Amino acid sequence: MQSTRSKGVGNSTAVFLIAVLLAVMTLSAYWPVKGHDFLEYDDDLYVTANRQVRQGLTWEGVSWAFGAGHAKNWHPVTWISHMADVELFGMEARAHHWINVAFHILNALLLFYLLHGTTGFMWRSAFVAAFFALHPLHVESVAWISERKDLLCAFFWLLTLLAYAGYARRPGLRRYGAVVVFFILALMSKPMAVTLPFVLILMDVWPLQRFSFQDQGRGFSWGLLREKIPLMGLSAASCLITYLVQKSGGAVGTLGAYPPAGRFANALVSYVRYMGNMFWPADLTVFYPYPEKISAWQTAGAAMLLIAITLLAIVAIKRRPWLASGWFWFLGTLIPVIGLVQIGLQSHADRYTYVPLIGLFVIVVWTVSEFAGQRPFPRNLSSAAGLAAVTLLGISSCFQTAHWKDTHTLFTRALAVTENNYVAHNALGILEARKGNRTEAAAHYQTALTAKPDYASVHNNLGLVLVEQGMTEQAVFHYHEAVRIDPKFSRAHNNLGAALMRQNKIDEAMAHFRRAIETDSDYPEAYNNLGNALVKKGKIDEAIENYRRALKIEPSLVMAHYNLGNALAAASDLDGAAGAYFEALRLDTDFTQVHNNLGTVLARKGDFGRAVEHFQLAVQYFPEDAAARKNLEKALEFREKQDPSEVIGSKTNLIYQSDENRDRTEKRSIGRNREHP
């Protein structure tokens, strides 16, 4: 890697060609995403099962984005980005993946232009950008649609630094305003940007050299700190919002689950692990389980290494300021996600390195370049070594990207490279359950619980499988465990309520449905189930109100239309009932029981011709339905008589549904509430 400085802004043709080469190499490394699907791991929360996002760009959606703490984060720019994808490309996963790749390419180019513009070193800047673009640790942020927030945060982060470089050259209110705007957008993409004001101070040391440890005339100035105060205020506000949102969502680990000493040890070891993975990116995966115990020698060794490098960077700050700037960039930008405040179940994550590794890349490239320039060996040897490293990283990233093809591939890989990976077992259990392989699903869940008995999601998911196997009592136990571990687990409360309904414990069930709604006021299935419980209690009007609330949130919820039709029929609102049934059939044409009940309502209205049609369809779709067959016989008889007085208002001449069909109908809703890892 050449150490010669470019003159001025450098050769514009060379800069352009480097930019094109960076884009082509990055696109080649991530080419496998063309065949990738959405994952059953957060992609449902962010896109596939998110009602607001699936509607595309709407004023309602934008308003929701700014007010939502969905997915236990506040990042409205990220939500709007996903909405824009759906608006432009619909639900085609490939297009969403390509947008991620495009942002990654833009980020690499911005990094190149930032370093080249502030240091004047074209080739050094190019190599740092290439390492950033092609390093396998960054695959998670690019190949995972849900990690759009990483890419957007880095995009606005780099724009903030570029704007700040312009402000540093020519201070002015307008230029400072650009810094503030880009910083706010970074915070609204992912709150990890809170450390950016600290990075601006590092930029003042190097490469901007707004104060120097060698030149007394450009020493420390309080003015340089004062200009960061508004930005620090924005960071503080973002920290508070993020903590409150994640705390309310149950994402913040308690001191009991994650003691301070363990957090500190894990943080130290994670720093060293990230450094090791930068040089040797092997056995990377989506989830790394939190260690049960970290030995004292590991903690001490990690601490000593970090202290030694820190002291070296400080000692060398006058002659080689990039060492301190790069090192403290790495240390500082990881602080929000290093685990001192534990968010989630992971010990560390590849995605957290997306911005922090820039500091280490700068250290490596600048140090190697300076070393090469002072040694008597071929001038281009370091450049050849750098190109070889870039090529190997690109190939490795291509292979790593392939592991993100789909949920099964991703978590099978996780089991292959980690031990006791309870999240991977949970995810694979979900896949098996959805394929109807209940025994295999239960085996994965039991393995996950062996590794982590307090994993609330697994208790919930195992409960769903047990319900489908007819073991309601055992399912109730696991649902109770899920809500004991996580009292704000709305899906587990809802599922527990549904299981209690099967045991005819209506009052207990209603309490859990209401708890689910308190925790998640936009939970349509919980409103629907509460409506069912209210019907059991004879409170038809309240039930109708809850069904309508469910449909306001999720108009495509077939079971809510069906149940609303039943409730309206019971309230003798035959026109309303018929309308609800017709809407249910529009959404699901082969819903046998809707045909049967719609036929009943039409017969009560005296429309025997259409009633017969729907009873015939009910029998056609499910010949074993004795109720539908009996209703068809009576409807044919009444059609011949053409005497509606015998059926209108009567609740005995026609049968609504048999016990067999009622059980079959209830099972249609099982699985909608499964919690993802």
pLDDT in tens, 284-300: 999 999 888 899 999 99
Tokens of 393: 């990283």
Give residue for tokens 């001038």.
379
Per-residue three-class SS string for 596-630 = HHHHHHHHHCCCHHHHHHHHHHHHHHCCCCHHHHH
pLDDT recorded at residue 663: 47
pLDDT higher than threshold 80 for residue 343: no
Task: Please report which confidence band the pLDDT of residue 260 belongs to, taking 50, 70 and 90 as the band edges.
Answer: confident
Task: Please report which confidence band the pLDDT of residue 652 belongs to, taking 50, 70 and 90 as the band edges.
Answer: very low
Q: Give 643 or 133, the one with higher predicted confidence.
A: 133
pLDDT recorded at residue 268: 96
pLDDT in tens, 554-570: 999 999 999 999 999 99
Burial call 377-405: b when 16+ CB within 10 Å, e when fewer: eeeeebbeebeebbeebbebbbebbbbbb
| Residue 514 to residue 483: CA distance in whole angstroms | 14
Instruction: Output the pTM of the full model.
Output: 0.88
Residue 226 CA from chain centroid, whole number: 36
Mean per-residue pLDDT, 10-18:
87
Expressed in angstroms, the distance from the first to the final Cα of the chain is 44
pLDDT higher than threshold 80 for residue 490: yes
Beta bridge partners of 289: 346
In whole angstroms, how far apart are CA 558 and each of 495, 562, 586, 594?
A: 18, 6, 9, 10
pLDDT recorded at residue 384: 84
pLDDT higher than threshold 90 for residue 630: no
Nearest by Cα to 547 from 536, 392, 534, 312:
534
Residue 353 DSSP label: G
Nearest by Cα to 183 from 248, 242, 128, 238:
238
pLDDT recorded at residue 658: 41
Nearest by Cα to 468 from 510, 508, 424, 499:
499
Tokens of 635: 């409807």
Tokens of 263: 């957090």
| Residue 377 to residue 368: CA distance in whole angstroms | 13
Q: Is 288 left (phi over 0), alpha (psi -120 to 50) or beta?
A: beta
pLDDT in tens, 26-37: 999 999 999 999
Name the least confident of 11-25, 71-85, 311-325, 374-388.
Answer: 374-388
Name the least confident of 150-159, 231-240, 245-254.
Answer: 245-254
Whether 630 contacts 610, CB under 8 Å: no
pLDDT above 70 as % of the chain: 88
| Residue 61 to residue 563: CA distance in whole angstroms | 28
Give residue for tokens 């209110």.
173
Tokens of 641: 């008589």
Tokens of 458: 């697994």
Nearest by Cα to 294 from 316, 319, 261, 339:
261
3-state secondary structure of 478: helix
pLDDT higher than threshold 50 for residue 601: yes
Mean per-residue pLDDT, 520-541:
94
3-state secondary structure of 324: helix
Structural domains in the chain, CATH included, are: 12-402 (no CATH), 590-677 (1.25.40)
